[in-house]
């Protein structure tokens, strides 16, 4: 794939020998904050693969349907317009087809963010931040904070106002018409989410366009 940039993605946990009160040492594994941020968010491996990582995050951590980013990437790339994907990244239509092949019905709805909170559904959204467009998963809402699964920065939170400013198309891509409730607003995810944008997120271009038509206003 020529110019694909592989991201440095190791976030190894640290280990330490700790002296107990009784004098006997024991081995303690220390997990870094960076590693924790990717515990329930799939990290993207390539400069245009945020879409495949977002789909893998949605299925693996919200619908208990484990999928790797590599699996999603390979299938969507093979079945999609490869030149366009190289230029612009995956589209919501690529994601819709990948999900449909596994029995998940997903569509884009032009609805306010509050609908997710009422329905208890996670969603993939496109945001424009730091000069590039990028797919993330809305993992929860709490007061004036929005919890995101960011394939480039891990699980993070931002203010509702800041999110609304970067969420320009107001399109929520959600799985619907499925029995049972997905995971949403998980306390464990909120615990590891920094308030600000992580400084180590790599800025990239070429993820700007989505090709799935908006369905208009309606219910999930």
Supply the CATH number for residue 74's domain. Answer: 3.90.70.10
The helix/strand/coil state of 94 is: helix
7 with 43: CB under 8 angstroms?
yes
The larger pLDDT score, comparing residue 8 to residue 207, is at: 207
For residue 77, give the nearest of 64, 88, 66, 62 by alpha carbon: 88
pLDDT digits (tens, 9 = 90+) for 62-71: 999 999 999 9
CA 98/CA 102 separation, integer angstroms:
7
Q: How many domains does the chain have?
A: 1
Residues annotated as catalytic are: 50
* Structural domain boundaries enclosing 93: 32-191
Q: What is the pLDDT of residues 140-152, one digit of tens each?
A: 999 999 999 999 9
pTM: 0.77
pLDDT band, residue 31 (cuts 50/70/90): low
Does residue 25 lie in a domain region? no
- Assess if residue 84 is contained within a domain: yes
Give the containing element (helix H, strand E) for 128. Answer: strand 123-129
The per-residue pLDDT for 131 is 85
Residue 7 lies in a domain: no
Distance CA 129, CA 24 (A): 50
Mean pLDDT confidence for 171-199: 84
CA distance 14 to 159: 31
| Closest alpha carbon to 212 in 105, 88, 94, 103 | 94
Does 65 map to a domain? Answer: yes
Radius of gyration, CA atoms only, the chain: 18
């Amino acid at each position: 794939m020529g110019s694909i940039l592989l991201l440095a993605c190791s976030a190894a946990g640290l280990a330490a020998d700790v002296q107990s009160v009784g004098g006997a040492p024991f081995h303690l594994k220390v997990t870094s904050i960076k590693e924790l941020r990717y515990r329930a968010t799939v990290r993207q491996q390539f400069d245009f693969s945020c879409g495949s990582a977002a789909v893998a995050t949605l299925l693996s951590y919200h619908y208990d349907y484990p999928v790797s980013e590599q699996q999603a990437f390979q299938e969507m790339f093979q079945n999609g317009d490869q030149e366009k994907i190289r230029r612009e990244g995956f589209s919501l239509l690529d994601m819709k087809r990948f999900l449909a092949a596994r029995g998940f019905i997903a569509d884009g709805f032009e609805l306010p963010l509050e609908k997710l909170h009422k329905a208890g559904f996670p969603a993939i959204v496109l945001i424009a931040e730091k000069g590039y467009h990028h797919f993330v998963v809305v993992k929860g809402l709490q007061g004036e904070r929005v919890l995101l699964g960011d394939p480039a920065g891990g699980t993070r939170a931002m203010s509702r106002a800041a999110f609304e400013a970067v969420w320009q198309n107001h399109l929520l891509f959600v799985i619907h018409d499925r029995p049972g409730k997905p995971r949403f607003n998980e306390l464990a995810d909120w615990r590891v989410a920094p308030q600000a944008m992580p400084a180590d997120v790599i800025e990239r271009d070429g993820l700007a366009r989505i090709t799935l038509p908006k369905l208009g206003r309606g219910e999930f």
